[in-house]
Amino acid sequence: MGNAGRNKDAEAKKKETRKWDRESLTRTLMGVLEAKKGKDIYHVISYDGDRWGVFREGCKRMHKIHDNKRSAVAHAKQLARRSMKWSVVIHKEDATPEKYIHSD
């Protein structure tokens, strides 16, 4: 096999790789769109004793820390209402759920 044959094989592999990359990217984007169809769930939890934190489910970090529970709940509702479907879970100081608020 000459250089021409090797070049065709190399080009075929590149096209195959590009095709797989496009398919992979498409699957990934479809997964993101599917996830967006679900609800955004925000939690209000006790943080560091006397403070309250707001975080979105699936995130590793707190969105914001508040000095009192009332302002944390108001902030969580404000964030949640940016989404079509949402829920806010308000927790007690011992982390058990106290109240659920839903968009539907």
101 - beta bridge partners? Answer: 88
Of residues 16 and 68, more confidence is placed in 68
Q: What is the pLDDT of residue 90?
A: 92
Q: Which of 35, 36, 41 is nearest to 87 (CA)?
A: 41
74 vs 39: CA distance, rounded Å: 18
Q: Contact 67/49 with Cβ under 8 angstroms?
A: no
What does the pLDDT look like over 32-89, one tens digit per residue? 444 445 678 899 999 888 999 999 988 888 999 999 999 999 999 999 999 888 889 9
Of residues 30 and 39, more confidence is placed in 39
State mean pLDDT over 19-36: 50
Q: Contact 42/90 with Cβ under 8 angstroms?
A: no
**How sure is the predictor about 5, in pLDDT bands with cuts at 50, 70 and 90?**
low
For the chain, what is the radius of gyration of the CA atoms?
24
23 vs 54: CA distance, rounded Å: 37
The phi, psi pair for 4, rounded to 5°, reads: -60, -40
Tokens of 77: 């509702």
Helices (H) and strands (E) in the chain, counts: 2, 5
